[in-house]
Chains A and B, each alone.
Chain A
């Protein structure tokens, strides 16, 4: 099956710093989503981005489908950005189901 690898697994930032999270996938995908899971376990949909670039406030994402990776950029990080960031893909071999990476755990210190 498809492999979804996220890096780094853990990231500690000082408030105000910028960061880049990476998601590599091993096969062509039909859909890619980035999620933020907050400390209470709620999963928040950040981006639906099978290709191209999108921006939402301090967050932006880029997916280069031909090279099988996606990047999530966080600028001017805040303590409320802490949590786990998941990349998830849908591909032809999964009946359209989302396959999740293991996540990047981000801690933003004040």
Chain B
């Protein structure tokens, strides 16, 4: 299994605050992803990256932004958190953007905006 780490595991924050969710992987994977999951629902892709300086929007529109300055690091930022952003955010990576290779997921960040 790939080593992929997300912090924090849980975050409760007030409306209007800026937050950054961290995601790092130690396997040198080129492609990284952010998925959003509401309780009891399926996962939806919100951002992905092919590699350094590459970021793309996913299938689900999101007010969050991402950056990829280093291969191993793919942080997600919300400039002004709102209650509608309450959700679980899952980060994933794959070895390269070959479509036949599996994705590996971090443990997720459960965000609550009050």
Write the nearest CB–CB distance from A2 to chain B, whole angstroms. 11
Size bin of chain B's contact surface: 20 to 34
Of B45, B56, B98, B102, chain A has the most CB atoms within 10 Å of the CB of B102
Given contacts A86-B43, A102-B42, contact A96 B110 (CB under 8 A): no
Tell me if B63 counts as interface (CB < 8 A to partner A): no
The answer to whether B90 and A45 have CB atoms under 8 Å apart is no
Tell me if B88 counts as interface (CB < 8 A to partner A): yes
Residues of A within 8 A of B101 (CB): 31
Please, how many residues of chain A have a CB less than 8 angstroms from a CB on the other chain?
26
Which 9 pairs across A and B sit closest by C-beta, in order of nearness? A48-B102, A30-B99, A96-B99, A43-B105, A100-B43, A100-B42, A102-B42, A42-B107, A90-B99
